[in-house]
Structure 1
Amino acid sequence: MKSGKAVVVFSGGQDSTTCLFWALQRFEEVEAVTFDYGQRHKLELECAARIASDLKIRHHVLDMSLLGQLTPNALTRHDMAIEQKEGELPSTFVDGRNLLFLSFAAVLAKQVGARNIVTGVCQTDFSGYPDCRDVFIKSLNVTLNLSMDYEFVIDTPLMWLNKAQTWQLADELGAFQYVRDNTLTCYEGIMADGCGECPACLLRARGLREFEAASKEGRRV
């Protein structure tokens, strides 16, 4: 039985859209929040708004453009290459992004009477981002509760899933084709299956192949 209210941290990508469908099956009310942090592709904001409209979800967009100005990264700067050098964080890592996004999502959640915050962070296929780790989420959950004297729960339905299992979850939610056709994961700003060459597209495509192979053999991934 559905109960309560949730705010989904929502980018319009594969992971957050899967999380949105997940939340819709579990909560009576669901709202989405998207952050404008100066990302290279404004299509991300348009994609998120379109999906929220399709699913008839109240959609908030918060201005976080200062974040893009503070930290040089390949997601906000066209003059930086998308790369990962051995022993270093990927150039797509944005310092403080999930810390700030989840903190602002919590402020919003309290204002709209939501106790649950849903995010698509994942430690299994996390690309080396430290703010996608389970230990960070648990730590922040405690901090947010203490900071606002309000009992939040940060839900991370994808935390221990690889990309193939994330595709499987979308399929179980009846959203596989919608997620495949309508989300934006590509670092080059190309919808659906993307450019096929950037790290995000390669991860997504590998997971899709593994899921489809397992489905043909009638087994779970």
Structure 2
Amino acid sequence: MRKALVVFSGGQDSTTCLGWAKNRFDEVETITFDYGQKHRVEIAQAQKIAHVLHVKNTLLSLDAFSQLNDSALIDGTQDIGAHHVTHTNLPASFVPNRNAIFFTLAHAFAQKQGIEHIIIGVNQTDYSGYPDCREPFVKALELALNLGSEANITFHYPLMHLTKAQTFELSRVEGVLDLVIDESHTCYNGVHTHKHAWGYGCGECPACVLRKIGWEAYTQGV
């Protein structure tokens, strides 16, 4: 039996990846991280989507990021649209080493559960400028984690080379487009009360703008 673990934020990308995984693996479960993010509604939406798709969701809590407080996703006093305070070439929403820690914990969890496939929604085409969303980083981390644990776990990243418009199309193909629109949460400001054609959000933060542009390109067939 082929088992897979989806690193699941409850956003557009990870919801698409969950649909992709369910159509390719015999057994799928998800893992979600509570790292003190101010858009905490994504945790509730992740649990809801997992329930709708009949997959187990495990929530892990991480206090360290709140203690470091080095991102506008955690520090509510920072401007989400500005540059990062310490990494001035990156957006304020960048959380240093977040993906490295998430993927490391997911790898450890997969070992415990006897899972040999991990699916992650990273993307280096239409992305927010995060260096830990690029393919060389993921491949290097996969190699290091397997070497360090004598494991043979494969990372899959089906969105890596897709535009946001293509990600919307993939969600349709995999049968989760309605869930992406109706339930997923991407907005950095945590707004889940106002629904647009492309889903819920403030419509102004970088995540919402990227999603809106992708939806417009998708609906226009670009």
Give 1:19's aligned residue. 17
TM-score where L is the length of structure 1: 0.93
TM-score where L is the length of structure 2: 0.92
Match of 2:52 among 51, 54, 63: 54
Match of 2:207 among 197, 200, 208: 200
> 1:64-75 counterparts in 2 under 5 A?
64-75=62-73
Which stretches of structure 1, 4 residues or more, deviate above 4 A after TM superposition?
none
Give 1:137's aligned residue. 138
CA distance in 2, matches of 1:211, 1:135: 28
Q: Give 1:83's aligned amino acid.
A: G
- Structure 1: gaps (5+ residues): 215-220
CA distance in 2, matches of 1:98, 1:35: 11
- Structure 2: gaps (5+ residues): 193-198
Give 2:124's aligned residue. 123
Give 2:156's aligned residue. 155
- 1:33 deviation in Å? 0.3
CA distance in 1, matches of 2:15, 2:113: 21
Q: Give 2:67's aligned amino acid.
A: Q
Q: Give 1:178's aligned amino acid.
A: L
Structure 2 contact 9–33 (Cα < 8 Å) conserved: yes
Greater Cα shift, 175-184 or 133-142 = 175-184
Structure 2 contact 39–187 (Cα < 8 Å) conserved: no
Structure 2 contact 33–102 (Cα < 8 Å) conserved: yes
CA distance in 2, matches of 1:202, 1:83: 11
Give 2:196's aligned residue. none
CA distance in 2, matches of 1:98, 1:185: 16
CA distance in 2, matches of 1:123, 1:64: 26
- 1:75 deviation in Å? 0.5
Structure 2 contact 34–59 (Cα < 8 Å) conserved: yes
Say which structure, 1 or 2, has more relative contact order (CA 8 Å, 6+ apart).
2
Q: CA offsets, 1:3-31, max 9 Å, x none?
A: 51011000000000000000000100101
Structure 1 contact 5–115 (Cα < 8 Å) conserved: yes
Aligned length: 213
CA distance in 1, matches of 2:131, 2:173: 29
- 1:176 deviation in Å? 1.2
Give 1:99's aligned residue. 100
